[in-house]
Amino acid sequence: MRPLRFCQACGSKVETPDKEGGARCGACGRTWYQNMAPTVGAAIIRDGKALATIRAFDPMKGKHDVPGGFLKPHEEPLEGLRREVMEELSIEVTSSMEQVLQMVPHPYGEDGQWVLSIGFKATWVSGEPQPADDVAAIEWVGIEDLDRLDFAWEHDRTLLRRALEDDQEPD
Ligand SMILES: [Zn+2]
């Protein structure tokens, strides 16, 4: 992750970060911290299969991942999850906080910005998936398919496996 160099409020050069990581702006007095950005991802289950997406753009163009993305400021994670799935696939899904299957910190993109990837199990509700936005194509997969897919991030393979295993357990 690149060190913070300029104040996000006034644009002045900030001082070298202190040992807690806070970089103070001498001009306006604010102190800035670098944090992970939370992202949400959905393992969507329908008829015993999970939906994998194929990325339309870099980073990791052409590789498999799951629908999802960055939360907006103030956005509730489940709200963001449903919004991202609707934007990328035009389908409605349902999930809950009890269906969080993992939280994985990982670097994203060329600058190595760190994100906290929150993975949900979600259930298909309505609509037929129409890939849009940063999704090139979709594939419904079972546990037996997971090893042959070329995932952009290994934790998405784990997320789909956990969701499919969870789906097979009796209620
Ligand atoms: Zn400033």
Same-domain check for residues 84 and 114: yes
- On whether both 118 and 48 belong to a single domain, the answer is yes
Give how many domains the chain has, as a whole number: 2
Instruction: Give the domain range for residue 25.
Output: 1-34
Q: What is the Cα–Cα distance from 127 to 51, expressed in whole angstroms? A: 14
Name the band, by pLDDT with cuts 50, 70 and 90, for residue 171. Answer: low
Q: Are residues 17 and 58 in the same domain?
A: no
pTM above 0.85, yes or no: yes
| Cα of 163 from ligand 1 centre, angstroms | 45
Q: Given this model, what pLDDT does residue 113 score? A: 84
Phi, psi of 39 (to 5 degrees): -125, 155
Give the environment of ion ligand 1: residues with CB less than 5 A. 7, 9-10, 12, 25, 27-28
Looking at the structure, do residues 29 and 47 belong to the same domain, yes or no? Answer: no
Give the mean pLDDT of the chain.
94
Residues 27 and 51 in one domain: no
Are 3 and 66 in a shared domain?
Answer: no
pLDDT tens, residue by residue, 68-99: 999 999 999 999 999 999 999 999 999 999 99
CA of 2 relative to ligand 1 center, distance in Å = 18
Within this chain, do residues 131 and 87 fall inside the same structural domain, yes or no?
A: yes
Pairing of strands 23-24, 31-32: antiparallel
